[in-house]
Structure 1
Amino acid sequence: MTITQLQYVLAVAEHKNFTQAAQKSFVTQPTLSMQVQKLEDELDILIFDRSKKPIAITEVGKKIVAQAKNIVNEAERIKDIVDQEKGFIGGDYTLGIIPTIMPTLLPMFLKTFIRKYPKVNLIIKEQNTENLIRNIQDGHLDAGIAATPLEIEFIKERPLYYEPFVGYVPTNHRLSGASHLDPGDLDITDILLLKDGHCFRDGVINICNSTKNYGEEHFQLQSGSFETLINLSNEGLGMTLLPFLNTLELDENKKKYLKHFNPPSPAREVSLIYHKSELKIQITEALKDVISGIVRGAIAFQDVKIISPISKQ
């Protein structure tokens, strides 16, 4: 039994297909199939039921796959121990970032991080929170940046910053005369929302649910873009809420429509999340230090109330 054989088993278990597993493992399909077969012969059991399409994992195979994940992770930890002992910070590191954070945060820290840690090959993927969690569990991501708290048993959360919600209220809106906003001012029926699946959308809904303030609903509109929501607000179709960092790059003509909340301002907690196995922890710590240091200077708000990223409806 070898680590390589266990890695091949995990690849087949994930893709349910020997050809795809071989492609992802950068070996030929006959090589991968032969190694999996050798392991099954050694153990005198079948890990995979090849008669089914897609390939199915046998009952005993499920137990072996679970144990293989642990063994492969622990084998990788040996390299981590050596890297930490040598003070080496480098190698591949795959980071997922949710869509409502990536456009504003990534330009702030990426150049600084790659200059400070040139031996790290940072692979960045935009994914929603659900995919981040699944890919961290499956080992396809080393870490993610998402709105928290998530309170998932196998994930560690390290807060990076607390980002206030900011109102974008055009002149023709009922709240245009207010100097500041309160959650009780909001009416979910005249707030333009991101489409379903965005945790920022759920945070906005949770702010409104906390006051149960509902008016007469005339239409529903959901978008995947803050820019679209701003443009529709300017057309008189409602107000919207934005993350604070998204407001920094607005032109002066749009900034005049921004309204902050009275303290404590509703805010989202943004964290670096990763598996409790803490593989590649030296890179994770370096990433956290760089991001926290940069964002700390951009967000001066202190008195905030954290809004859950998970809708309570």
Structure 2
Amino acid sequence: MTLRELQYLVELARLGNFHRAAEVCGVSQPTLSTQIRKLEEKLGVTLVERNPRQTVLTPVGEEIVARAREVLNGVQDIVDISVRHRKSGAGRLRLGVFPTLGPYLLPLLVPLIGGRFPGLQLQLLEEKSELLLDRLRAGGLDAALLALPVRDPALQVTPLFQEPFLLAAPCDHPLARQQTISVDDLSGQQLMLLEDGHCLRDQALSLCHRWGADEITGFRTTSLETLRQMVAAGMGVTLLPKLATCGPLSQGDKLRFVPFRDQPAPSRTIGMVWRRSSARVGLLRQIAKLTVSAAGLPAA
């Protein structure tokens, strides 16, 4: 068998469709289908169940795909090692980040990475945390910036910094008139939150329940920017992470960001996560240090 055949099989397993897998692999659908059949003949087993709507792996197919991912990851590690030895800092880095952090941290981080590693090709993926973890485990990412905790013995988790939460309130809201607030001030308040699937929603709900606050029923949104605009329109209050309240895009004359005076203040821990088997640990640790510098927040 060849590495190309394994790549075809892994992409087919990921996408569940011969046509889409062929497009990703840069071959025609008949070519990909033929190569998969040849692989099945070599191995003497059926790897996929074929039907008009989707392609489903057989049980032995699932086992072989899992091992094929490990093989392909190992090959990529070999390529990365050779590139680093040819030219320090060169090569490709695939970095994932979740949506409530990426738009605010990446504009600060990417220039630092470019200045420190001018030969590094940076590929960024912004997705929800669970999807990033799936891609990381499957070898589709080299590392991901995530809100902790992350518990997986196959992954190295490095805490980076603490990001405080601030209350975002319309300027005419009673809490907006205060310089600082206490968590006790949120008792009885109703907050606008993100939709299911966002780690920030889970964190905010946990804090709300602890403080005696609650979620506004019948309202959920997909982005922090929508939340910000709804607050500015006087629709309610919400919690925003510190980095989302900084910079020119966050400013406005219709809302205020009020910090908490409690010690410790409500916050989330941001960390970098990569596979323990990664051959790029040295580079990833340097990227982690640059991330702490870019955020400008207390180290975790």
Q: Within 1, Cα distance between the matches of 2:93 and 2:7?
A: 18
CA pair 37-223 structure 1, distance change in 2 beyond 3 A: closer
1:61 paired residue number: 61
1:271 paired residue number: 271
Counterparts of residues 222-233 of structure 1 (less than 5 Å):
222-233=220-231
Deviations 1:203-229 (A, max 9, x none): 121112223x147x8754333343443
Q: Within 2, Cα distance between the matches of 1:43 and 1:194?
A: 48
Deviations 1:48-86 (A, max 9, x none): 233564222222222222221222222222223434545
Deviation at 1:149, TM superposition (A): 0.9
Q: Within 2, Cα distance between the matches of 1:18 and 1:235?
A: 47
2:293 paired residue number: 293
2:200 paired residue number: 200
Tell me how large the CA RMSD over aligned residues is: 2.8
Counterparts of residues 18-97 of structure 1 (less than 5 Å):
18-50=18-50, 53-86=53-86, 88-97=88-97
Match of 2:135, as an amino acid?
A: N
Match of 1:238, as an amino acid?
A: G
Contact 1:142-1:275 at 8 Å conserved across structures: yes
Deviations 1:169-226 (A, max 9, x none): 4454343454432223223642222333222222121112223x147x8754333343
Match of 1:247, as an amino acid?
A: T
Counterparts of residues 1-313 of structure 1 (less than 5 Å):
1-50=1-50, 53-86=53-86, 88-176=88-176, 178-187=178-187, 189-211=189-211, 213-214=212-213, 220-249=218-247, 250-251=250-251, 253=253, 257-295=257-295, 298-299=296-297, 301=298
Contact 2:80-2:91 at 8 Å conserved across structures: no
Match of 1:206, as an amino acid?
A: S
Q: Within 2, Cα distance between the matches of 1:256 and 1:63?
A: 53
Deviation at 1:24, TM superposition (A): 1.0
Q: Within 1, Cα distance between the matches of 2:43 and 2:217?
A: 62
Match of 1:184, as an amino acid?
A: D
Deviation at 1:168, TM superposition (A): 2.6
Q: Within 2, Cα distance between the matches of 1:50 and 1:171?
A: 59
Q: Name whichever of 134-143 and 262-271 sits farther off.
A: 134-143
| 5+ residue gaps, structure 1 | 305-313
| 5+ residue gaps, structure 2 | none
Q: Within 2, Cα distance between the matches of 1:169 and 1:51?
A: 53
1:309 paired residue number: none
CA pair 66-168 structure 1, distance change in 2 beyond 3 A: closer
Deviation at 1:153, TM superposition (A): 3.7
Deviation at 1:277, TM superposition (A): 2.6
Q: Name whichever of 181-190 and 200-209 sits farther off.
A: 181-190
Contact 1:161-1:271 at 8 Å conserved across structures: yes
Deviation at 1:132, TM superposition (A): 1.0
CA pair 171-3 structure 1, distance change in 2 beyond 3 A: closer
Deviation at 1:253, TM superposition (A): 4.3
SS of 2:175's equivalent in the other structure is coil
Deviation at 1:164, TM superposition (A): 0.5
Match of 1:203, as an amino acid?
A: Q
For normalisation by structure 2, the TM-score amounts to 0.85
Contact 1:166-1:261 at 8 Å conserved across structures: no
Match of 1:263, as an amino acid?
A: Q
CA pair 137-52 structure 1, distance change in 2 beyond 3 A: farther
Deviations 1:128-187 (A, max 9, x none): 112111222222222222211121343322222111111234454343454432223223
For normalisation by structure 1, the TM-score amounts to 0.82
1:310 paired residue number: none
CA pair 77-227 structure 1, distance change in 2 beyond 3 A: closer
- Paired residues in the alignment total 298
Q: Within 1, Cα distance between the matches of 2:256 and 2:45?
A: 69
Q: Within 2, Cα distance between the matches of 1:111 and 1:264?
A: 31
Contact 1:193-1:201 at 8 Å conserved across structures: yes
SS of 1:175's equivalent in the other structure is helix
Deviation at 1:256, TM superposition (A): 5.6
